């Protein structure tokens, strides 16, 4: 859905962050419309149609490069779209600068994220707005369609029924490996994971948003993620007249009274992103009617779903545009802080809780952190590929391998190997400092 459909909804003396950028994107020419746009939201773009759309977009604009970053178990390509000006830089060059990343519909039956991603790539490719052109010279925008098998089957999981958004620690799926490898190699500063949710009583807003909540996330990265989520993405969406709330919070009379989702588990992408020093968030738009008009017109419902996720994504682009130097500096500093704390055993390590819930049980928190984990040779053989994808180094130690916490991923490593971690991928022996 073109941003032109919502441009000019309201003018404010103090416009929300992203409003100017949104208007600039609305001014982009209507070139290469998706099948969803052509039908005005009556039909969704199929996976083969999307492959053609992206192929045509790549051919039509020097700013766009589409590449395959993996294949599913059904041998469909997992595609990465890179956008930059005058052309997208190489992966190595981009990783040394500013990168904004979107994962679009990792759950195959949540359709609006990938529609929003295709439209955003197209609008960035053809906009002539000077501020956006300057932005694309200094920042690379990445968009990944992570689950083409689920897309074709219209299922939440991949072809094997696995929820890929619960696989960012173990990395058992080709889809999870492709996304994680992209994060490792391109080193994004910002990530927005675009989803949909099923509304119900006390849980029925146009957008639900959430940041990295795992307590092991660097505090500065956490605060930047929360700022992006609330003051950029959510603020832009609400400026358009849509409603917004915090993911997982049931709300009555304007007050949250119960949390049903949105915890700090590291295997979910928004939390994993924070643990590898990326300013990450989640966007979820309601996939069922929220009013009588949407009940009567499915195309209106579908257009709203895409428009909300598109606008949240624009908010994250604005976060990158306004804070490029700060994001580059602080994500690098977080990696260094984690490395130093891991070497010295400073701070604490959490195995439970979240940013607004401080665990107190010894099974959930370690006040005297270990300096690393010893793995047997057999265990290392089992996790070697996952460690490489996470960017985690190890060294030979006796008959096995030693994984030091003195690495940028200090907050993630104990969650992979400690007996207290609910989603550990293997058993490791803590080694005291």
- Whether 336 maps to a domain, the answer reads no
Per the structure, the complete domain to which residue 35 belongs is given by: 3-331
- Whether 340 maps to a domain, the answer reads no
pTM: 0.95
The CATH number linked to 307 is: 3.40.630.10
CB 176 within 8 A of CB 164: yes
Tokens of 275: 């643990």
Under-70 pLDDT residues of the chain: 1-19
- Whether 353 maps to a domain, the answer reads yes
Report the alpha-carbon distance of residue 49 to residue 82 in Å, rounded. Answer: 19
The answer on 355 and 324 residing in a single domain is: no
**Side-chain-side CA neighbours of residue 149 (13 Å):** 18
The answer on 305 and 381 residing in a single domain is: no
pLDDT tens digits, one per residue of 46-65: 999 999 999 999 999 999 99
Contacts of 403 (CB under 8 A, 6+ apart): 372, 373, 375, 387, 392, 393, 394, 413, 417, 428
The answer on 366 and 241 residing in a single domain is: no
- Whether 376 maps to a domain, the answer reads yes
Domain boundary among 331, 361, 396: 331
CB 184 within 8 A of CB 92: no
- Give the model's pLDDT for residue 17: 66
Q: Provide the number of structural domains found in the chain.
A: 2
The answer on 402 and 323 residing in a single domain is: no
- Give the model's pLDDT for residue 247: 98
- Give the model's pLDDT for residue 360: 86
CB 176 within 8 A of CB 130: no
Domain boundary among 331, 354, 389: 331
The answer on 261 and 136 residing in a single domain is: yes
- Give the model's pLDDT for residue 24: 84
- Whether 13 maps to a domain, the answer reads yes
CB 17 within 8 A of CB 318: yes
Length of the chain: 433
In 74-106, which positions are buried (b, 16+ CB within 10 angstroms) versus exposed (e)? eebbbbbbbbbbeebbebeebeeebbbbbbbbb
Report the alpha-carbon distance of residue 97 to residue 389 in Å, rounded. Answer: 21
pLDDT tens digits, one per residue of 73-129: 999 999 999 999 999 999 999 999 999 999 999 999 999 999 999 999 999 999 999
Domain boundary among 307, 331, 355: 331
CB 210 within 8 A of CB 229: yes
- Give the model's pLDDT for residue 20: 75
SS3 388: helix
Report the alpha-carbon distance of residue 108 to residue 105 in Å, rounded. Answer: 6
Angle subtended at Cα 273 by Cα 267 and Cα 275, rounded to the nearest 5 degrees: 80
Report the alpha-carbon distance of residue 370 to residue 393 in Å, rounded. Answer: 16
The answer on 404 and 255 residing in a single domain is: no
- Give the model's pLDDT for residue 100: 98
115 — phi, psi (to 5°)?
-65, -45
The answer on 96 and 226 residing in a single domain is: yes
Q: Dump the DSSP string for 123-177.
A: HHHH---HHHHHHHHHEEEEEEE--HHHHHHT-SS-TTS--GGG-TTT--SHHHH
The answer on 355 and 299 residing in a single domain is: no
The answer on 78 and 120 residing in a single domain is: yes
- Whether 110 maps to a domain, the answer reads yes
The answer on 85 and 17 residing in a single domain is: yes
Report the alpha-carbon distance of residue 57 to residue 59 in Å, rounded. Answer: 5
- Give the model's pLDDT for residue 19: 65
Report the alpha-carbon distance of residue 426 to residue 180 in Å, rounded. Answer: 18
CB 79 within 8 A of CB 65: no
The count of other CB atoms within 10 Å of the CB of residue 30 is 11
**Side-chain-side CA neighbours of residue 155 (13 Å):** 13
- Give the model's pLDDT for residue 16: 60
Contacts of 224 (CB under 8 A, 6+ apart): 279, 323, 326, 327, 330
Helix locations, 34-106, DSSP H: 35-38, 47-60, 91-95
The answer on 86 and 32 residing in a single domain is: yes
Report the alpha-carbon distance of residue 174 to residue 157 in Å, rounded. Answer: 12
- Whether 26 maps to a domain, the answer reads yes
The answer on 395 and 325 residing in a single domain is: no
Report the alpha-carbon distance of residue 193 to residue 168 in Å, rounded. Answer: 13
- Whether 409 maps to a domain, the answer reads yes
Tokens of 198: 């099923």
- Give the model's pLDDT for residue 27: 74
- Give the model's pLDDT for residue 22: 81
Contacts of 270 (CB under 8 A, 6+ apart): 191, 193, 210, 211, 212, 213, 225, 280, 281, 282
């Amino acid at each position: 859905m073109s941003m032109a459909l919502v441009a000019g909804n309201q003018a404010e003396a103090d416009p929300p962050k992203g409003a100017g950028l949104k208007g600039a994107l609305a001014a982009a020419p209507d070139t290469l419309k998706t099948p969803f746009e052509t039908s005005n939201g009556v039909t969704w773009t199929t996976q083969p149609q999307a492959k053609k759309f992206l192929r045509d977009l790549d051919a039509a604009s020097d700013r766009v490069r589409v590449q395959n970053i993996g294949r599913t178990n059904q041998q469909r390509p997992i595609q990465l779209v890179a956008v930059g000006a005058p052309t997208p830089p190489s992966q190595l060059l981009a990783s040394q600068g500013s990168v904004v990343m979107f994962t679009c519909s990792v759950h195959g039956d949540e359709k609006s994220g990938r529609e929003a991603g295709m439209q955003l790539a197209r609008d960035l490719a053809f906009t002539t707005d000077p501020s956006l052109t300057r932005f694309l010279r200094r920042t690379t925008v990445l968009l990944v369609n992570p689950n083409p098998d689920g897309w074709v089957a219209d299922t939440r999981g991949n072809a094997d029924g696995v929820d890929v958004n619960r696989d960012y620690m173990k990395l058992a799926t080709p889809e999870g490996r492709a996304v994680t490898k992209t994060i490792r190699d391109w080193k994004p500063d910002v990530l927005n994971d675009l989803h949909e949710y099923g509304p119900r009583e006390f849980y029925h807003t146009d957008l639900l948003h959430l940041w990295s909540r795992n307590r092991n996330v660097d505090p500065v990265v956490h605060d930047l993620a929360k700022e992006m989520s609330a003051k950029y993405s959510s603020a832009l969406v609400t400026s358009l007249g849509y409603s917004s709330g915090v993911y997982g919070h049931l709300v009555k009379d304007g007050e949250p009274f119960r949390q049903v989702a949105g915890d700090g588990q590291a295997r979910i992408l928004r939390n994993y992103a924070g643990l590898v020093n990326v300013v990450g968030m989640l966007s979820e738009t309601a996939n069922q009617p929220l009013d009588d008009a949407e009940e009567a017109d499915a195309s209106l419902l579908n257009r709203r779903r895409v428009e909300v996720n598109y606008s949240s994504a624009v908010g994250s682009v604005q976060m990158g545009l306004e804070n490029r130097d700060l994001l580059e500096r602080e994500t690098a500093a977080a990696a260094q802080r984690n490395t130093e704390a891991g070497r010295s055993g400073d701070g604490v390590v959490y195995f439970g809780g979240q940013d607004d819930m401080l665990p107190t049980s010894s099974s959930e928190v370690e006040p005297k952190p270990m300096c690393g984990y010893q793995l047997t040779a057999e265990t290392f053989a089992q996790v070697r590929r996952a460690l490489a994808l996470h960017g985690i180094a190890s060294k030979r130690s006796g008959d096995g391998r030693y994984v030091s916490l003195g690495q940028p991923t200090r907050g993630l490593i104990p969650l992979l190997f400690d007996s207290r971690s609910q989603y550990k991928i293997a058993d490791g022996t803590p080694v005291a400092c």
